[in-house]
Structure 1
């Protein structure tokens, strides 16, 4: 299986054409130095059109100036597919100062659709829906410096399967009459990110 992986420094190139994106959607994932937004900076953002491609942007952590990437992320006509977008969206909002709209999320979809399982990791979803057993060896590695080919492949794996996974999960959600609930959860996602950035980490609905 050939994956077209391209590493870009600071920003996407001016001439990048994403018109072949499946369903007018891109999949997105970020890599950070950790999960504390203020302490652990956003290092990479990778996107895919769903055509076995991965464009990995190694951001300028001094300025986070990436106008081409920001333009795509800010385009409300393009659907953006995340897996556990809560963490990615918080880092994007904090470092790139962007509020992302038209969001889809395979982890939320999985939790609602796959009530037959308690495992909703991306690795599990790739195995179930794509029949590919990916390695997560480099999930906890240093993305702040020079990147190895193995790290780049790991980053690519985090986005290239999301289109198919989301399509298959959406089919289940519609069949089980849970699609409206999924859409309502997506509408709340940016509010959940705002709560995270305001340090309300616990479930505010709990007793």
Structure 2
């Protein structure tokens, strides 16, 4: 059973991560400039999940310092949205990044299924529930079910990253994946600036 620790407003200064940290967010919706960021989940891959509740207008300097720390790789599943939401809410550029969804799309071309639940089931033999995905993350109190759901989104990302690294190496796409990861902060910035749908590389 995972250990889940809930923090209010910011990550405590004495909570640190070395090398890498798995990250996810929960929001009131999927519109960057309409819907607010409610929760940020963090795990060092050790079975412990830190949940940081984000309050409207409140700063989170420790969390932002972690997102910008060049010595800590932030592991996401579908980093584009989370990174854009963090940029919208705090103005922080999150880097460096590893995205397991991009890695799956480049390494697992035998399938069109790249969701987190599918990857956990296929690669790790773990069945995670997505039942609480659209619950009210802005509620005054989070239920135990919500907290367990939120934790499940980060607890397995280190193990998935290890699988993906092997697949990408096997298919000769490690460098291509890294180039995509390096571009993600700018892709998120384009989304925030209004170029979410337009392909600026198109003719």
Distance 1:154 1:115, change over 3 A: same
Q: Aligned pair 1:117/2:111, yes or no? A: yes
Q: How many residues align?
A: 201
Q: Which residue of 2 aligns with 1:67?
A: 61
What are the ranges of 5 or more consecutive residues in structure 2 without an aligned counterpart?
A: none
What are the ranges of 5 or more consecutive residues in structure 1 without an aligned counterpart?
A: none
Q: Which residue of 2 aligns with 1:31?
A: 26
* Residues 17 and 72 in structure 2, CA contact (< 8 A), matched pair in contact too: no
Report deviation, 1:37.
0.7
Q: Which residue of 1 aligns with 2:200?
A: 204
TM-score calculated relative to the size of structure 2: 0.95
Q: Which residue of 2 aligns with 1:18?
A: 17
* Residues 87 and 189 in structure 2, CA contact (< 8 A), matched pair in contact too: no
For residues 148-159 of structure 1, the aligned pairs below 5 Å read 148-159=143-154
Q: Aligned pair 1:191/2:186, yes or no? A: yes
For residues 1-207 of structure 1, the aligned pairs below 5 Å read 2-19=1-18, 24-63=19-58, 65-145=59-139, 146-202=141-197, 203-206=199-202
Q: Tell me whether 189-198 or 130-139 shows the greater mean CA deviation.
A: 189-198
Tell me the distance in 2 between the aligned counterparts of 1:180 and 1:114.
16
* Residues 24 and 41 in structure 2, CA contact (< 8 A), matched pair in contact too: yes
SS in 2 for 1:81: strand
* Residues 81 and 106 in structure 1, CA contact (< 8 A), matched pair in contact too: yes
Tell me the distance in 2 between the aligned counterparts of 1:197 and 1:161.
28
Structure 1, residues 45-93: CA drift from partner, whole Å, max 9, x if none? 0100001111000012122x11221222221100110000100001101
TM-score calculated relative to the size of structure 1: 0.93
